[in-house]
Amino acid sequence: MSEKPSPGALFDLTGRVALITGSSRGIGRTLAEALAEAGAIVVLNGLNEDRLEQTRSALAHRFGDDRIFARPFDVTDEIAVSSAIDWIENEVGPLRILVNNAGVQHRVPLLELAPEDWERVLKTDLTSAFLVGRAAATRMIPRGRGKIINIASVQASLARPGIAAYTAAKGGLRNLTMAMTAEWAASGLQINAVAPGYIHTEMTQSLVDDETFNSWIMGRTPANRWGTTLDLAGPVVWLASDGSDYVNGQTIFIDGGMTVVV
Protein backbone atom coordinates (compact mmCIF):
# COMPACT_ATOMS: atom_id res chain seq x y z
CA MET A 1 0.00 0.00 0.00
CA SER A 2 1.29 3.48 -0.87
CA GLU A 3 1.97 6.14 1.78
CA LYS A 4 -1.13 8.26 2.36
CA PRO A 5 -1.28 11.67 4.01
CA SER A 6 -3.03 12.00 7.37
CA PRO A 7 -6.80 12.58 7.04
CA GLY A 8 -6.36 16.27 7.92
CA ALA A 9 -3.99 16.79 4.98
CA LEU A 10 -6.13 15.02 2.38
CA PHE A 11 -7.39 18.25 0.85
CA ASP A 12 -4.09 20.15 0.96
CA LEU A 13 -3.03 21.21 -2.56
CA THR A 14 0.08 23.12 -1.55
CA GLY A 15 2.45 23.61 -4.48
CA ARG A 16 0.36 21.65 -6.99
CA VAL A 17 -0.05 23.30 -10.39
CA ALA A 18 -3.66 23.63 -11.54
CA LEU A 19 -4.95 24.87 -14.91
CA ILE A 20 -8.57 26.01 -14.93
CA THR A 21 -9.85 26.78 -18.42
CA GLY A 22 -12.35 29.63 -18.75
CA SER A 23 -11.43 31.08 -15.37
CA SER A 24 -11.47 34.80 -16.14
CA ARG A 25 -15.03 34.94 -14.77
CA GLY A 26 -18.02 32.92 -13.56
CA ILE A 27 -17.66 29.40 -12.21
CA GLY A 28 -14.06 29.01 -13.38
CA ARG A 29 -12.92 32.07 -11.48
CA THR A 30 -14.45 30.82 -8.22
CA LEU A 31 -12.91 27.37 -8.76
CA ALA A 32 -9.50 28.99 -9.35
CA GLU A 33 -9.84 30.92 -6.08
CA ALA A 34 -10.90 27.78 -4.20
CA LEU A 35 -7.95 25.77 -5.53
CA ALA A 36 -5.59 28.64 -4.65
CA GLU A 37 -7.05 28.77 -1.12
CA ALA A 38 -6.31 25.05 -0.82
CA GLY A 39 -2.67 25.86 -1.70
CA ALA A 40 -2.49 25.28 -5.45
CA ILE A 41 -0.42 27.29 -7.91
CA VAL A 42 -3.08 28.42 -10.36
CA VAL A 43 -2.97 29.06 -14.10
CA LEU A 44 -5.96 31.10 -15.27
CA ASN A 45 -7.27 31.00 -18.84
CA GLY A 46 -9.79 32.78 -21.05
CA LEU A 47 -10.03 34.45 -24.44
CA ASN A 48 -10.43 38.11 -23.54
CA GLU A 49 -6.94 39.23 -22.48
CA ASP A 50 -8.04 42.34 -20.56
CA ARG A 51 -10.55 40.43 -18.47
CA LEU A 52 -8.04 37.66 -17.85
CA GLU A 53 -5.40 40.14 -16.69
CA GLN A 54 -7.90 41.84 -14.36
CA THR A 55 -8.69 38.48 -12.76
CA ARG A 56 -5.02 37.51 -12.55
CA SER A 57 -4.17 40.76 -10.88
CA ALA A 58 -7.06 40.48 -8.35
CA LEU A 59 -6.10 36.92 -7.40
CA ALA A 60 -2.37 37.70 -7.34
CA HIS A 61 -3.14 40.49 -4.89
CA ARG A 62 -4.57 37.85 -2.50
CA PHE A 63 -2.28 34.91 -3.14
CA GLY A 64 0.94 36.45 -4.57
CA ASP A 65 2.40 36.72 -8.09
CA ASP A 66 4.26 33.44 -7.64
CA ARG A 67 0.97 31.56 -7.07
CA ILE A 68 -1.24 33.02 -9.83
CA PHE A 69 -0.43 32.85 -13.55
CA ALA A 70 -2.51 33.53 -16.65
CA ARG A 71 -2.36 32.21 -20.19
CA PRO A 72 -4.89 33.39 -22.77
CA PHE A 73 -5.58 30.71 -25.37
CA ASP A 74 -8.49 29.24 -27.29
CA VAL A 75 -9.33 25.81 -25.87
CA THR A 76 -10.61 24.72 -29.30
CA ASP A 77 -7.27 25.41 -31.02
CA GLU A 78 -5.07 22.31 -30.90
CA ILE A 79 -1.80 24.17 -31.52
CA ALA A 80 -2.57 26.89 -28.98
CA VAL A 81 -3.51 24.22 -26.42
CA SER A 82 -0.30 22.31 -26.97
CA SER A 83 1.89 25.40 -26.63
CA ALA A 84 0.00 26.49 -23.49
CA ILE A 85 0.63 23.14 -21.80
CA ASP A 86 4.33 23.34 -22.82
CA TRP A 87 4.50 26.85 -21.36
CA ILE A 88 2.93 25.73 -18.07
CA GLU A 89 5.31 22.79 -17.74
CA ASN A 90 8.38 24.92 -18.54
CA GLU A 91 7.51 28.17 -16.75
CA VAL A 92 5.16 27.23 -13.90
CA GLY A 93 5.75 23.57 -13.04
CA PRO A 94 4.45 20.06 -13.64
CA LEU A 95 0.72 20.17 -14.27
CA ARG A 96 -1.06 18.17 -11.57
CA ILE A 97 -4.68 19.36 -11.84
CA LEU A 98 -6.73 20.26 -14.91
CA VAL A 99 -10.25 21.66 -14.71
CA ASN A 100 -11.94 21.65 -18.14
CA ASN A 101 -14.42 24.43 -17.43
CA ALA A 102 -14.52 26.74 -20.50
CA GLY A 103 -17.90 26.54 -22.16
CA VAL A 104 -20.54 28.41 -24.14
CA GLN A 105 -24.30 28.19 -24.42
CA HIS A 106 -26.47 28.83 -27.49
CA ARG A 107 -30.23 28.99 -27.01
CA VAL A 108 -32.29 28.37 -30.16
CA PRO A 109 -34.91 25.77 -31.18
CA LEU A 110 -33.36 22.69 -32.79
CA LEU A 111 -35.16 23.32 -36.10
CA GLU A 112 -33.47 26.73 -36.30
CA LEU A 113 -30.02 25.62 -35.11
CA ALA A 114 -27.37 26.55 -37.69
CA PRO A 115 -24.69 23.89 -38.28
CA GLU A 116 -21.94 26.42 -37.52
CA ASP A 117 -23.47 27.14 -34.09
CA TRP A 118 -23.81 23.38 -33.44
CA GLU A 119 -20.10 23.02 -34.32
CA ARG A 120 -19.04 25.98 -32.18
CA VAL A 121 -20.82 24.66 -29.09
CA LEU A 122 -19.58 21.09 -29.61
CA LYS A 123 -16.02 22.35 -30.11
CA THR A 124 -16.01 24.63 -27.09
CA ASP A 125 -17.88 22.38 -24.64
CA LEU A 126 -16.67 18.92 -25.70
CA THR A 127 -13.74 18.86 -28.17
CA SER A 128 -11.82 21.28 -25.93
CA ALA A 129 -11.86 18.75 -23.07
CA PHE A 130 -10.41 16.14 -25.41
CA LEU A 131 -7.70 18.54 -26.66
CA VAL A 132 -6.67 20.01 -23.30
CA GLY A 133 -7.21 16.69 -21.51
CA ARG A 134 -5.02 14.80 -23.97
CA ALA A 135 -2.23 17.40 -23.83
CA ALA A 136 -2.34 17.34 -19.99
CA ALA A 137 -2.52 13.54 -19.76
CA THR A 138 0.51 13.21 -22.04
CA ARG A 139 2.49 14.96 -19.29
CA MET A 140 0.70 13.39 -16.30
CA ILE A 141 0.83 9.72 -17.37
CA PRO A 142 4.65 9.30 -17.25
CA ARG A 143 4.61 10.90 -13.77
CA GLY A 144 1.89 8.45 -12.64
CA ARG A 145 -0.47 11.04 -11.18
CA GLY A 146 -2.89 13.78 -12.11
CA LYS A 147 -6.47 14.96 -11.69
CA ILE A 148 -8.77 15.96 -14.53
CA ILE A 149 -12.14 17.46 -13.64
CA ASN A 150 -14.59 18.06 -16.47
CA ILE A 151 -17.32 20.61 -15.81
CA ALA A 152 -20.45 19.07 -17.33
CA SER A 153 -24.03 20.06 -16.45
CA VAL A 154 -27.36 18.53 -15.43
CA GLN A 155 -27.85 18.60 -19.21
CA ALA A 156 -25.48 15.61 -19.27
CA SER A 157 -28.55 13.59 -18.34
CA LEU A 158 -31.58 15.90 -18.80
CA ALA A 159 -32.84 17.64 -21.91
CA ARG A 160 -34.82 20.85 -22.21
CA PRO A 161 -36.09 22.57 -25.36
CA GLY A 162 -33.81 25.13 -27.02
CA ILE A 163 -30.36 23.91 -25.99
CA ALA A 164 -29.76 20.82 -28.14
CA ALA A 165 -26.10 21.44 -28.99
CA TYR A 166 -25.25 22.11 -25.34
CA THR A 167 -27.14 18.99 -24.21
CA ALA A 168 -25.33 16.85 -26.79
CA ALA A 169 -21.96 18.32 -25.79
CA LYS A 170 -22.46 17.86 -22.05
CA GLY A 171 -23.73 14.29 -22.52
CA GLY A 172 -20.61 13.66 -24.60
CA LEU A 173 -18.44 15.18 -21.89
CA ARG A 174 -19.88 12.75 -19.35
CA ASN A 175 -19.01 9.83 -21.63
CA LEU A 176 -15.57 11.30 -22.42
CA THR A 177 -14.96 11.28 -18.65
CA MET A 178 -15.60 7.53 -18.67
CA ALA A 179 -13.45 7.00 -21.78
CA MET A 180 -10.52 8.91 -20.25
CA THR A 181 -10.92 6.79 -17.11
CA ALA A 182 -10.91 3.56 -19.13
CA GLU A 183 -7.59 4.50 -20.74
CA TRP A 184 -5.75 6.56 -18.12
CA ALA A 185 -6.87 5.43 -14.63
CA ALA A 186 -4.32 2.60 -14.51
CA SER A 187 -1.59 5.25 -14.95
CA GLY A 188 -2.61 6.89 -11.67
CA LEU A 189 -4.89 9.60 -13.06
CA GLN A 190 -8.34 10.30 -11.67
CA ILE A 191 -10.76 11.78 -14.18
CA ASN A 192 -14.20 12.83 -12.95
CA ALA A 193 -16.92 15.28 -13.90
CA VAL A 194 -18.94 17.75 -11.90
CA ALA A 195 -22.44 18.37 -13.24
CA PRO A 196 -23.77 21.68 -11.91
CA GLY A 197 -27.44 22.49 -11.83
CA TYR A 198 -28.62 26.02 -12.42
CA ILE A 199 -25.89 28.36 -11.18
CA HIS A 200 -26.28 32.12 -11.18
CA THR A 201 -23.52 33.51 -13.46
CA GLU A 202 -23.31 35.77 -16.54
CA MET A 203 -24.20 32.73 -18.67
CA THR A 204 -27.55 32.35 -16.86
CA GLN A 205 -28.34 36.00 -16.03
CA SER A 206 -31.04 36.18 -18.72
CA LEU A 207 -32.74 33.12 -17.15
CA VAL A 208 -32.59 34.61 -13.64
CA ASP A 209 -34.19 37.78 -15.04
CA ASP A 210 -36.98 35.80 -16.74
CA GLU A 211 -39.75 35.61 -14.10
CA THR A 212 -41.45 32.53 -15.58
CA PHE A 213 -38.21 30.60 -15.96
CA ASN A 214 -36.99 31.68 -12.55
CA SER A 215 -40.12 30.41 -10.77
CA TRP A 216 -39.96 27.16 -12.78
CA ILE A 217 -36.36 26.63 -11.57
CA MET A 218 -37.33 27.30 -7.96
CA GLY A 219 -40.19 24.79 -8.16
CA ARG A 220 -38.05 22.24 -9.99
CA THR A 221 -35.15 22.38 -7.51
CA PRO A 222 -35.73 20.62 -4.14
CA ALA A 223 -33.26 23.03 -2.48
CA ASN A 224 -35.54 25.85 -3.77
CA ARG A 225 -32.77 28.18 -4.89
CA TRP A 226 -30.27 28.80 -7.66
CA GLY A 227 -26.81 27.45 -7.03
CA THR A 228 -23.88 29.75 -6.42
CA THR A 229 -20.41 29.33 -7.90
CA LEU A 230 -19.21 28.63 -4.35
CA ASP A 231 -21.49 25.57 -4.18
CA LEU A 232 -19.12 23.94 -6.71
CA ALA A 233 -15.89 24.80 -4.88
CA GLY A 234 -15.98 22.01 -2.27
CA PRO A 235 -16.62 19.17 -4.74
CA VAL A 236 -13.91 20.45 -7.11
CA VAL A 237 -11.29 20.87 -4.36
CA TRP A 238 -12.14 17.34 -3.21
CA LEU A 239 -11.80 15.92 -6.75
CA ALA A 240 -8.50 17.79 -7.17
CA SER A 241 -7.10 16.39 -3.92
CA ASP A 242 -5.73 13.11 -2.53
CA GLY A 243 -9.12 12.75 -0.80
CA SER A 244 -10.58 11.42 -4.08
CA ASP A 245 -7.81 9.03 -5.10
CA TYR A 246 -10.21 6.08 -5.52
CA VAL A 247 -12.95 8.06 -7.28
CA ASN A 248 -12.75 7.26 -10.99
CA GLY A 249 -14.93 8.22 -13.92
CA GLN A 250 -17.84 9.59 -11.88
CA THR A 251 -20.16 12.45 -12.75
CA ILE A 252 -21.19 14.18 -9.56
CA PHE A 253 -24.39 16.20 -9.74
CA ILE A 254 -24.30 19.45 -7.74
CA ASP A 255 -27.81 20.59 -8.47
CA GLY A 256 -29.82 21.14 -5.29
CA GLY A 257 -31.48 17.78 -5.99
CA MET A 258 -32.91 18.67 -9.43
CA THR A 259 -31.95 15.37 -11.09
CA VAL A 260 -33.48 13.15 -8.38
CA VAL A 261 -37.06 14.42 -8.71
CA VAL A 262 -39.61 14.62 -11.51
List Cβ neighbours of 148 (8 Å cut-off, separation of 6 or more). 98, 100, 133, 136, 137, 180, 189, 190, 191, 192
Choice between 153 and 248, CB closer to ligand NDP = 153
Choice between 24 and 192, CB closer to ligand NDP = 24
- Say which amino acid occupies 11: F
Query: How many angstroms separate the CA atoms of 157 and 97, rounded?
Result: 25
* In the complex, minimum distance from the CB of residue 197 to ligand NDP, in angstroms, rounded to a whole number: 7
Among 202, 236, 222, which Cα is nearest to 18's? 236
Q: Which of 69, 166, 184, 238 is catalytic?
A: 166
Q: Which helix (H) or strand (E) holds 147?
A: strand 146-151
Choice between 45 and 221, CB closer to ligand NDP = 45
Give the interface with ligand NDP as residue ranges (CB under 6 A): 21-28, 45-48, 51, 74-76, 101-104, 124-125, 151, 153, 196, 198-199, 201-204
To the nearest 10°, report the CA torsion of 75, 80, 85, 86. 180
Choice between 27 and 88, CB closer to ligand NDP = 27
Report whether 40 contacts 68 (CB < 8 A): no
Distances (CA, A) of 166 to 14, 80, 119, 239: 35, 23, 10, 24
Residue 210, classed as helix, strand or coil, is: coil
Residue 69: beta bridge partners? 43
Choice between 43 and 75, CB closer to ligand NDP = 75
Strand bridging mode 146-151 / 41-44: unpaired
- Say which amino acid occupies 134: R
Query: How many angstroms separate the CA atoms of 63 and 235, rounded?
Result: 21
List Cβ neighbours of 4 (8 Å cut-off, separation of 6 or more). 242
Choice between 77 and 89, CB closer to ligand NDP = 77
Active-site residue 198, yes or no?
no
> Which phi and psi (to 5°) does residue 75 adopt?
-65, -10
Catalytic residues: 166
